């Protein structure tokens, strides 16, 4: 039987429907003080220019609890820096995830060790793999929207296969937030 150790490099520590489902108190108890977050399809739909009021409120709550937040995105500087400025948070653009450079830049900016840092993102092969490589706490969220960059669409095909394998090993896929809201009505 072939070793499936490579799957552990893609297994998130948590899998939630959206950033709004993250248990911030539990992260604080774990000693997490820095939250790195992807931008497109994690905070907002791909290339969405505006900051929704719900995101502004979430960021205010995160900061009020004492966390630092930094956007880390593979998207270009113009897109990432302009959005980060609107949010009032720092950012690392053209991060090259899953490579370590962008993650390490964010850790250095905040003088934070990997064990005090969580990475939140919607992609296994960039966000989660990069976070796990450095020992960050890795939180996978469902993509906000099916509209994506063409390169991401290609990687999603392989990601679906890997997610099935991870689910067979105990990963529980969350219900999309819209489905839960319908159930709550």
pLDDT band at 182 (very low <50, low <70, confident <90, very high): very low
The residue count of the chain comes to 185
pLDDT digit string, tens, across residues 126-163: 999 999 999 999 999 999 876 676 677 778 777 888 87
Exposed, middle or buried by CB within 10 Å (0-12, 13-18, 19+), for 155?
Answer: middle
């Amino acid at each position: 039987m072939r070793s499936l150790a490579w799957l552990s490099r893609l297994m998130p520590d948590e899998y939630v429907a959206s950033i709004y489902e993250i248990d911030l108190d539990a992260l604080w108890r774990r000693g997490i003080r820095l939250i790195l977050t992807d931008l497109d399809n994690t905070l907002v739909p791909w290339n969405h220019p505006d900051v929704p009021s719900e995101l502004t409120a979430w960021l205010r709550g995160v900061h009020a609890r004492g966390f630092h937040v930094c956007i880390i995105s593979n998207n270009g500087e113009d897109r990432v820096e302009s959005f980060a400025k609107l949010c009032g948070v720092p950012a690392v653009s053209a991060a090259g995830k899953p490579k370590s450079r962008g993650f390490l830049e964010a850790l250095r900016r905040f003088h934070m060790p990997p064990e005090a840092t969580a990475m939140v993102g919607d992609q296994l092969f960039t966000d989660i793999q990069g976070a796990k490589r450095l020992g960050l706490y890795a939180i996978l969220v469902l993509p906000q929207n099916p509209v994506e960059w063409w390169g991401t669409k290609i990687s999603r095909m392989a990601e679906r296969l890997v997610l099935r394998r991870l689910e067979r090993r105990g990963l529980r896929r969350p219900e999309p937030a819209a489905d839960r809201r319908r159930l709550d009505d």
